[in-house]
Amino acid sequence: MSDTPLAIGIDFGGTSVKAGVVFRGNIIDHAPPISTQDFDSPDALIEAIARVVEDLCARHTGVAALGVGMPGFVDFEKGVVYNLTNVRGWEMIPLKVRLEALTKLPVVVDNDANCMAYAEWKRGVGRGYRHLVCLTLGTGVGGGIIANGQMVRGARHGAGEVGQTSIDFRGRRGHYGNLGALEDYIGNNEIAAAASEAYHAAGIHKSAADCSPVALATAAHGGDPIALAIWDDVAEKLACTVMNCCWLLNPEAVVIGGGVARAGDLIFGPLTSHLYAQLSGPFKDHLMILPARFGNEAGMIGAAAMALEAAGFPPEP
């Protein structure tokens, strides 16, 4: 047992629930993933999660807290999950209370994008910053905001929904009725659809797989002009939202992660030039645009760090 306690971080996804034991920002043990579809009710799934936690605690002494990142709106204070878009039956579930009763650990429940932001802020490339915006680009576009050295959760714990903000006041109508949401242009599927359309218009046949962000990154690195144009387009739209965050929050750094961000320089190059052309001095001088350190494990690492701090353990060295 060490001075720095262990925590368990859980990344609750639309298809599987992953759990890991975290020590100073490193996952030192993984539980086998649970498939969310194997369980008919939230109760049954919560009990399965609790058993996984028990197994991990049995293998590691000194687990002091449990953090859970959820793919939906969460009342952070009460630990109640309002609803999940992709998992049946999850409405107004008091997850924190249920898990605390079953595991006897102090539990924190937050939105998954907040957990990722927390991971980067406490253990990743955002460490030490007091004013930080984190974005995660995947099927959806999520985010988390740190201002004055604190996580900004807002009135109902919904803050940081970067992907729902608009880049076009008369743009596409999104899931919540919002017009021009960034997510509706640069989510995984929207990038693939734009690429498919561009290839088709050029008379080039491409499969769906050829239009995935990963395939488009490979094509662009090989000099494919259509793929390059797609990434520039993604960067231009992303720059609009990042710029808005900068004018509003004047962060020291913007951290960008998630699958789409793995396109690397294809995004970060044009993003930076579109962005810097649209900011004045105090907003761009010293501004850092940083690729995230963590990939798929960010949610677990962030949830674990958040749980330890909420349980009264000081930030790890």
Query: Which residues bind to a second copy, rule: CB under 8 A?
Result: 73, 82, 130-131, 143, 145, 147-148, 150, 152-162, 164-169, 176-180, 236-237, 239-240, 243-245, 247-252, 277-283, 285-287
Nearer of residues 152 and 310 to a second copy, judged by Cβ = 152
Q: 307, 107 in Cβ contact below 8 A?
A: yes
Residues 6 or more apart in contact with residue 34 via CB below 8 angstroms: 16, 17, 45, 48, 49, 52
Q: How far is the CB of 137 from a second copy (least distance, A)?
A: 16
Q: How far is the CB of 161 from a second copy (least distance, A)?
A: 4
Q: How far is the CB of 285 from a second copy (least distance, A)?
A: 7
- When computed from its CA atoms, the radius of gyration of the chain, rounded to whole angstroms, is 20
Q: 197, 245 in Cβ contact below 8 A?
A: no
Q: How many residues in the chain?
A: 317
Nearer of residues 21 and 186 to a second copy, judged by Cβ = 186
Question: How many angstroms separate the CA atoms of 149 and 129, rounded?
Answer: 7
Nearer of residues 155 and 209 to a second copy, judged by Cβ = 155
Nearer of residues 54 and 236 to a second copy, judged by Cβ = 236
Q: How far is the CB of 159 from a second copy (least distance, A)?
A: 4
Strand partners of residue 291: 256
Nearer of residues 147 and 193 to a second copy, judged by Cβ = 147
Q: Look up residue 288 and give its two tokens.
A: 């850092």
Nearer of residues 30 and 156 to a second copy, judged by Cβ = 156
Measured CA distances, 204 to 34, 46, 194 (Å): 41, 48, 14
Q: Look up residue 82 and give its two tokens.
A: 């309002």
Q: Which amino acid makes up residue 89?
A: G
Q: How far is the CB of 101 from a second copy (least distance, A)?
A: 25
Q: How far is the CB of 80 from a second copy (least distance, A)?
A: 11
